[in-house]
Amino acid sequence: MRPAPDGAFTPVADVSPPHWLSQRGGTVNDASCLNRTSVYGVVRPRTDDQVREALVFARSHGLAVAVSGTQHSMGGQASFPGALILDMRDMNRVLVDEVASTVRVGAGATWRDVLEATHPKGLSVAAMPSIDVLSVGGTVSVNAHGADFRTGSLASTVRSIRLMLADGTVREIDRSNDPGLFRAVIGGYGLFGVILEVELDAVDNALYDVRERRVPTSSFADLFENELVPDDDYRMMYAHLSTSPRTFLDEAIVHTYRRVDDDGEPIPPLRQDQDSRVARLVLNLARHGGVAQRIKWAGERKVLPRFRALWSPATRPCAPRRPASSPATRRCTTTSACSGTG
């Protein structure tokens, strides 16, 4: 958000910084570390009133405001030169309503926070991005998508949003109450107000068989249209394209999640963070040349399917169980939460 149209930015060097800043001056950066930006300061609000206080201060001193979640949008979208940064990560309360099948989430909560609140109640979310470290406010602001190709992006799963406008007023918006603003905020990159809270659809948790298969890229559309889409039990999928010089973009590994009857089997607990150092090493080596790229692709094809259960990315809260008969099949739980495209 920027000051009112007539409010050209004024120098603020002569203004003594308010006591509630968590960082005075200095710089912020995003997860890419490529966008270091000098800012006026950073505030980490915990309440609506603290957000309002920051907005009032910014307005009265001609400061731009940039809202940030976990700063994983890697084009500097969550900062602005000279701005007051609203770091929302402390507004992270999560409340599950089992009767209404909804979950109210503070904008700064991560998807991991959401899963940890819903999972013990046998619930999950209908859509989420492929990794769970991102903030809900930041992902709603870009209308992120997940691996659930039937649900699509987050927009269809957001029931309502509590939003603070630039003048400090709070609005509860949804599809019937100010639908235009509701649509604009979802995917609005923080330009229409500060998202304070989001109400999301919750869905019943379920068990999935996880399977990888290697296909020529040219036959992917056929697989998707004629096998995955017609079978309603296929709920999620993602594909990795080959980056190996020999099969560059011609080959893909398609990961599918097919819902299975749980037969009363208890839903396994969420997986904890896993060590991703080996995966990072391989990925970084592959940036430097053909041999490493071939090794990486061979690893994805042959090694990862067998060992993903042991060292899959930290953010996959799946709880796989490998049936002896099928090395490429595992079980996992929690709808989109199992996806691992990141």
Ligand X SMILES: Cc1cc2nc3c(=O)[nH]c(=O)nc-3n(C[C@H](O)[C@H](O)[C@H](O)COP(=O)(O)OP(=O)(O)OC[C@H]3O[C@@H](n4cnc5c(N)ncnc54)[C@H](O)[C@@H]3O)c2cc1C
Residues that bind ligand X (CB under 6 A): 31, 66-73, 77-78, 88, 107, 129-131, 134-135, 137-139, 141-142, 144-146, 189-190, 194-195, 341-342
Burial tier of 294 (Cβ tally within 10 Å: 0-12, 13-18, 19+): middle
Element (H, E) at 69: none
- Nearest distance from C-beta of residue 74 to ligand X, angstroms: 6
Structure tokens given for 300: 């994805």
Which one, 217 or 341, has the nearer CB to ligand X?
A: 341
In whole angstroms, the minimum distance from the beta carbon of 51 to ligand X comes to 9
Instruction: Look at the chain and count its residues.
Output: 342
Alpha carbon dihedral 295, 296, 297, 298, in 10-degree steps, equals: 50
Least distance in angstroms from the C-beta of 279 to ligand X:
12
Residue type, 74: M
How many Å apart are CA 85 and CA 64, to the nearest integer? 9
CA distance 291 to 316: 28
| Beta carbon of residue 79, minimum distance to ligand X (angstroms, whole number) | 8
Compute the least distance from the CB of residue 193 to ligand X, in Å: 7
Q: CB-wise, 138 or 320, nearer to ligand X?
A: 138
Nearest-CB residue for ligand X: 138
Give the nearer residue to ligand X in terms of CB position, either 190 or 317.
190
Residue found under tokens 């957000």: 51
- Given a contact cutoff of 8 angstroms between Cβ atoms, the answer to whether 33 and 54 are in contact is no
Q: Shortest Cβ distance from residue 207 to ligand X (Å)?
A: 22
Stated as kind and residue range, the H or E segment containing 328 is: none
CB of residue 99 vs ligand X: minimum separation in angstroms? 27
Nearer to ligand X, 22 or 218 (CB): 22
Q: Which residues of 49-73 are buried (b: 16+ CB within 10 A; e: fewer)?
A: ebbbbbbebbbebbbbbbbbbbbbb
Residues 6+ apart with CB under 8 A from 284: none
**CB of 323 vs ligand X, minimal distance in Å:** 27
Sheet holding 329-333, edge to edge: 234-241, 251-260, 207-216, 329-333
* Closer Cβ to ligand X, 153 or 329, answer by number: 153
Nearer to ligand X, 191 or 298 (CB): 191
Per the CB < 8 A criterion, the answer to whether 138 and 74 are in contact is: no
**Residue among 248, 262, 246 nearest 319 (CA):** 262
Q: Which is nearer to ligand X, 70 or 244 (CB)?
A: 70
Q: Looking at beta carbons only, is 138 or 317 nearer to ligand X?
A: 138
